Amino acid sequence: MQNLTEFPGNSTYDKTLSVIIKVCVVIPFFCVFLCFIGVMLHIFACHRQFLDTSRYILFAHVLINDTLHLLSSVLLFLFVMGQVKFAIVYCVPMLLISTATFQITPLLLATMSLERYVAIFYPLQRPAAWRSDRIWVIILSLWLISCSTPLIESAMREPDPAVNDFFTPVVCKSSAVNSSPIQTLFKAATNIIFFAVVAVIILFTYMRILLETRKLRQDRVSVDKALHTVLLHGFQLLLSMLAFTSPLTESFIVRHVKWLPEDIAFFNYFCFMLIPRFLSPLIYGFRDQILRAYIVKMFLRCSNKVRPHFRGKLRDNFPAS
């Protein structure tokens, strides 16, 4: 057998094939995700009862945030796969959106857990900020917090004399913009603080609801639902934290499997960044009985519309003799 190194065209062909396979894996997942998110947002927009409830308003915002994050993330992925280069001044806004939407996720989970806590312990005297017409104040505050950290991180950037931010084309990825050690340390510390605070809040709300269950005179079913919801938020937080396992998986793969660095990076991106983002809102949406009923009803309605149209086409193609 001849050595593959004698054919330099093979490596180019293999890289091109690898890029095509990766793109063909990511894009269908993203399209399916957008389909489900579009269905759920359409249900929220068409039924006023969801917009009058703080819990559903927060969940709708989670759906919008996950869509923004995946959209920016997939665009950056496609740019890296295609080796598309452009100036840093155009790259920074995309990285800012990706980072901000990633960091706001645990904050939203903590807020949703606190909303369940307030709903259980203050059903009649709910604080004004937690009412459906004022919940936007909390959401706006979360956005300010999540956007401030990447802005501070960008301000710490040490300019490279060889790179002109307005004209020098670079591959748009985090390492091209946030490369200094102080930026890496700041980002790691921020993520750890965010997720640690959220974990404490979720644990606190769960324990408080669990300990006070016997003392409450409310319907036991609603309290049990609140406990399950807080547990689900904890599971969603674990899914989000999978993004930080990439160093461990990289070292494991390097030791046991002979993969190229770009293949390892794609494996981590797909398994620990995309898949959790796909699963988290879908699990929460299908778990909710009211929302699940509307989703099933909508899909049944669509299928009933498609079947007569399909039968009509069959009759046109096969006319009666």
Please give the residue range of the domain that contains residue 42: 9-301
Region 295-321: mean pLDDT is 61
Could you tell me the pTM of the whole model?
A: 0.82
Count of CA atoms in the C-beta half-sphere (13 A) of 125: 1
Per-residue pLDDT at 194: 84
- In the chain, the number of structural domains is 1
In-domain check, residue 265: yes
Q: Is 315 among the domain residues?
A: no
307 located within any domain: no
Half-sphere exposure of 193 (CA within 13 A, CB side): 9
- Residue 230 maps to a domain: yes
| The pLDDT of residue 8 is above 50 | no
Q: Is residue 43 a contact partner of residue 294, using CB atoms and an 8 Å limit?
A: yes
CATH number at residue 127: 1.20.1070.10
The residue written with tokens 């957008």 in the block is: 34
Tell which wins on pLDDT, 104 or 314: 104
What does the pLDDT look like over 178-222, one tens digit per residue? 667 888 888 888 888 888 888 888 888 888 877 776 665 555 666
Q: Is the pLDDT of residue 310 over 50?
A: no
Secondary structure class of 169 (helix, strand, coil): strand
Residue 22 lies in a domain: yes
Residue 309: its pLDDT value, please?
A: 52
